Structures are given as C-alpha cells and as structure tokens.
Structure 1
C-alpha cells in the first residue's frame, strides 16, 4: 500500500492537533495557539511565493500581536525560506520526522488483556502522566479542541497507570500525538502496546494509515516506531527568532 506523502499530512496535523485560530495573511498561513500549547499550534507556514524580508516582518508583527514569539515551520523544499530566516537571526529548532504505516501492518497482535483502554475524555490519572512528561493543560486543551473522531489510550501495567496517548482521525488517516510512558514503566513494551491499541481503534473507523511526528532528539521513540514498521515519509523543522528565548 502506498504511504501518504508529507504534504498529505500537513492538513492532518492542523485537524488532529488544531490551533485556536488558523488564518491566511499575505504569503503566510498563521496559527494562533496558546502559550505552552506547542510549536505545531503556533508556527507560521508559507502558503506560496518567495518571501522577502518585508513579508517576513508582516508575519512577525502578526505573531507578536497574538502574544507569540516569531516561529516558522520549514517544510521540505522550502530552502529559500530557510535561508531567509537564517539571515534574519532565526535559529534551528526541533527537526521532526513524519512517520506512516498502513493500519493493517500495526493492528496485528492485540495488546495483552487489561493493558490498554480507550477513554474519552481522559482521566485524571492520564493527565498526571502527561504532566510528568511536560504535557500540561494547554496541550490537553488542544486535544479537547480537535473536532475529528478522537480518543485516548490509557495504558496499565501491574494494575498501575503506566502510559497514555491521544489519537485522532482526519479522513482515513489517523495521527498519534502526546504518547507518554511513565519513566518507571519504560522498557516493558507499553509504547508498543498503546500504538497497537490506537491502530485497532483507527482500523475500526476505516482508517487506512496511522501516522505520527517525532523530534530527531527523541531517539527511543524513533527506534520504537522503526521497529514496528513505520516508515519516514517526510521531515520539517522550525526556526525561532534568536532574540527571544521564549518557548512555545
């Protein structure tokens, strides 16, 4: 089965992990997020054309008016934009790999009994696991904002809360976000079990593919997904204005 390409997945990101507001301004598509909601909900992307410094300034002004530091997502082939941002004192931030796999290739063996549970809305125990992994109320608000079919998976080991993750569907593509395993329960297969559970959830809703995004620095996650049969289908990275150390 042919895997979706990176351009196919950019709209899926916006639909399954949505900003508060998405709108176009000149050459740009801008996203209004909330402080702490993550780069995906705040970064500007190029819609068309070859931007100039004046175009860049227009986007910067709009982002600052929204209370956000200037932040851009640079996708494959956008070398001119990448060069412009570098010359304007933007630094590289979070290179990301997009992975995809046919749902049927992941929804093979079911997780062990009483290991993974589909739950919406998430429980307080799941929110605690996310909080320990740096996923706070702002990112939980993104999950609640998603208007597509969605659920969370709650993972348990030895009858104790062990992990959680969020998955949402856009058309026939499912995308996983915020997969987190408690430190004391890692290396026991919890991440694999939760991914399998998400694949079965997606398959039951006629999804053809399951996808996810991973930063290059997250070596254990990259290794897990590669071992499960996920294939890289694209890359992107962010650039943030060097003058600010604000995090989104």
Structure 2
C-alpha cells in the first residue's frame, strides 16, 4: 500500500517547482483548463511537461494531449506528490515513468561558508561565453538549453570554473523567491576528481547569497548517483521529488 506524502513534502515540491519554472523557464507557459502547459523549444523535459493545477478528469487528459500535439511536443506530464490519482490515470492510459527527480535544498550559508582549495576558482559572467558553450556541449547541453538560460529573469549568472589556470567546468545559477537554484553544472572529464563540482557549488551559493538568496537548491535525477552523493555530502537535504510520465 502506498503512503500518502506529508504536507511538507507537497508544499516544498510545489514551492521549488515554481522556482524551477522561474530559473529554468519554458519558451511559453499558459493555463488551459485544468493544466499549466509548457512549450519547451527543445530545452528538455523540465520546460516541456504539462502540470495539473488540480483534480483532472479523463476529458482533461485528452485536452492536454491535444494541446501538446498542437505544439509538436511529446506527450509528457510532470507529477508531484499528492497527484497519485492522476499518476494512476496516466499509467492506465499507457504512460510510463521517466526520470524521477530529487529536489535538494539547504540554507545558503551551509554551502557559502564551506572552504575550497586555493587552486579552485570560479568567475561569474553573463552572457555565456564560447568556452562555456564548448564545455556544456561535452555534456550534451546544446543551444536549446542555452536559450533556456537566456530566458531566465534576473538575478542570474553563469560560472566558469577554473583549476589553477585551466578551464574546468561551467554552471548556471539564478535566484527566485529568495532561492538560488543551480542548473547545468558540467565539469570537464579531464578535471573530474579534483573537487571542482563541490567548489563550483560553493561559489554558486556565495553568488546567490550576494543576490538575495537565503536558500540554495538543485534538482537532480535519481539515476545520477554521483550528483546525489555530492549534494548530500555538501549538507543539502532532500526536500521534495517529482517524476514524469511519457507516452511514445
């Protein structure tokens, strides 16, 4: 028997998903009937999934499917704690679970006050530079996801991570509702194992604290074992979760 999610998990997930929409925004969002619809422009699942705004019927699901087809997008729904009835409804229609996601958060100072090695540096810069685009490309983050960053509201920045005098990684971070949220952290393969992921998280939190954040957060697929371990080791706590259901 499944256990109903706590009200705190539901509220936290709702809050941080609103931060995701603000800091990693779709090309278009609109309300239609029972749904919040997103047009992603090729920017991935986060910016392309439909979300229910309340209880839905079978007819509502059909309406959402028609709207997504009209946008030439995959049939994709984002499911949060408390939406178990919709989850079961979609499963019965042949939708499968893809990419369960954890949401991590902590007070921004938990990260910002941690120490780094002297040879680890990050430079905050806007807009993304060519070297950052090259680093992101090595991790499969292409122009469509760069466009997502360009759509985000301020405050926002990118970070160029350096180890000694060599480029080591890049990331994007923005602030909404006093929450700094990190996206698209990518460390060059040759620079892994030198603590650059941790160092760039610390630098991102310091930037967020200087730009109005009192909380720092990140979302991460449950399948990314290394990233989940990093966030936990840095003192972040899992505060919510969500998953997608998709139909081919």
- Regarding TM over 0.5, the answer is yes
Q: Does the 8 Å CA contact 1:22/1:30 hold for their aligned counterparts?
A: yes
> Which residue of structure 1 lines up, in the alignment, with residue 94 of structure 2?
89
The TM-score with structure 2 as length reference comes to 0.93
Deviation at 1:206, TM superposition (A): 2.6
> Which residue of structure 1 lines up, in the alignment, with residue 40 of structure 2?
33
Aligned residue among 131, 139, 143 for 1:137: 143
Matching of residues 142-181 of structure 1 within 5 Å: 142-181=148-187
> Which residue of structure 2 lines up, in the alignment, with residue 232 of structure 1?
238
Q: Does the 8 Å CA contact 2:99/2:222 hold for their aligned counterparts?
A: yes
Q: Extract unaligned runs of 5+ from structure 1.
A: none
Deviation at 1:6, TM superposition (A): 1.8
Deviation at 1:118, TM superposition (A): 0.7
Question: Aligned pair 1:207/2:207, yes or no?
Answer: no
Distance 1:105 1:99 in 2: 13
Deviation at 1:30, TM superposition (A): 0.3
> Which residue of structure 1 lines up, in the alignment, with residue 108 of structure 2?
103
Distance 2:169 2:200 in 1: 8
> Which residue of structure 2 lines up, in the alignment, with residue 194 of structure 1?
200
Distance 1:211 1:83 in 2: 29
Question: Aligned pair 1:119/2:128, yes or no?
Answer: no
Q: Extract unaligned runs of 5+ from structure 2.
A: 1-7
Q: Does the 8 Å CA contact 1:110/1:197 hold for their aligned counterparts?
A: no
The TM-score with structure 1 as length reference comes to 0.93
For these two proteins, the number of residue pairs brought into alignment is: 239
CA RMSD of aligned residues (A): 1.5
Deviation at 1:113, TM superposition (A): 5.2
Distance 1:182 1:114 in 2: 14
> Which residue of structure 1 lines up, in the alignment, with residue 5 of structure 2?
none
Distance 1:24 1:206 in 2: 29
